Amino acid sequence: MPVEDGLRGLTAIMPSIEDLYRDLHANPELAYAEHRTAAIVAARLRGDGYTVTEGVGGTGVVGVLRNGDGPRVMLRADMDALPVAEKTGLAYASTVTATTESGEIVPVMHACGHDVHVSCLLGAANLLAGSRRSWSGTVVAVFQPAEEGRGGARRMLDDNLLDLTGLPSVVLGQHVFPYPAGTIGYRTGPFLAASDGYDIRLFGRGAHGSRPESGVDPVVLASAVVMRLQTIVAREVAANEQAVLTVGALHAGTAPNIIADHADLKLSVRTYDREVSARVLASVRRVVEAECAASGSPKPPEFVELFRFTPTINDPAATEIAMAALRAELGPESVREVPPMMGSEDFGEFGDAAGAPSVFWALGCVDPAEYAAAEAAGRLDELIPSNHSPLFAPVIQPTIGTGIRALVAAATAWLGHRR
């Protein structure tokens, strides 16, 4: 269908979508606790005529709109927020706290823009439902829980998502990034990295702080492990390969005069190539086990996998179709190729499981004037907050309007046309 048919109602729905965004931002929910968000999503989809299934993969919501014969287009948004204390100063900033599964009370913030994703997809779903006379096929709107390292995509798939939706012809998605609002960033082939997360427990032997000789100090052991791990990327990964190894958390002990009996590390490894991932992870295990042996650890370390993301790889042919549609809608100057990113997503799980091509793009969300000033000063990293920052605050417009237009334009490129 002509994309203008699908976007004809955009101006009329925008106030409602903007209000929805502010509400979602002020009321974030952690992974698998997105009950309020899911209820809002389900109600809006039903109001637009979608067949809705709730509770998919925990708190996921799936809306299916069948409109005759034609391609089946899957559009995906994620819903979960992060345990971050918001510092944006926005009038609609989150003051929410939540209790984690371990009983810890944490602040909660949409520090990665998933509230934008939900708002954009609900807006696109509404417009596509309102333009059914112009297209044929099936629109599948997937609202995923627990993208932030908790395996939400896999849980939805394991909960028979594809039986509910049928196999898609293409899977489309987007994610806000700190690029100028009103622009789209894309890349053919590898776009986001594979990521593996592990919780590693190192065992010492507890003792009094005055008698270190009677124990095995896991703090010293953990310090040695952290420093030695840094040599893996520096000395074991070739210059033409890319990998990032991050120890994001280290905890040991409870008091200054007690030698603890264990230390816990949380680390992640990111690469664009699963073979490189395998080599780096094998090196991590070798280093950790060797340092434990060198320290006289009383038992081998324990490794618990926290998450495993495949790389996000954009299908070349499908990417060209989608980006041609976005260039036509937004203007060629607003759609640009960007370098691959070391961030990770589980979006690729859907296309992989369905055997369907997938396309994922970056949606700019920074005030263009602020971005230009920071870029001119050579201070982008310093002045423009990134995803997961407590200062991350997408500008509502033109971010959301662009996101809705992008989803409708890309979906339209596959859906059948009615005359």
List residues forming the annotated binding site for Mn(2+). 112, 114, 148, 175
> How far apart are the C-alpha atoms of 419 and 417, rounded to whole Å?
7
Q: Tell me, what amino acid is at 195?
A: S
Query: What are the backbone dihedrals phi and psi of residue 211, each rounded to the nearest 5 degrees, phi first?
Result: -130, 65
- Classified as helix, coil or strand, 116 is helix
- Closest CA relative to residue 390, chosen from 76, 90, 74: 90
Terminal CA-CA length for the chain: 8
Token pair for 63:
């809306």
Residue 184 contacts by C-beta under 8 Å, 6 or more apart in sequence?
A: 174, 323, 326, 330, 334, 335, 336, 361, 362, 363, 364, 402, 406
Q: How far is CA 147 from CA 144, 304, 346, 357, 388, in A?
A: 7, 19, 7, 20, 13
Q: Tell me, what amino acid is at 121?
A: L
Residues 40 and 27 sit within 8 Å (Cβ to Cβ): no
The radius of gyration of the chain from alpha carbons, rounded to an integer in Å, stands at 23
> How far apart are the C-alpha atoms of 269 and 410, rounded to whole Å?
32
> How far apart are the C-alpha atoms of 240 and 232, rounded to whole Å?
15
Question: Residue ranges for the binding site?
Answer: 112, 114, 148, 175
CB half-sphere exposure, 371, CA atoms < 13 A: 15
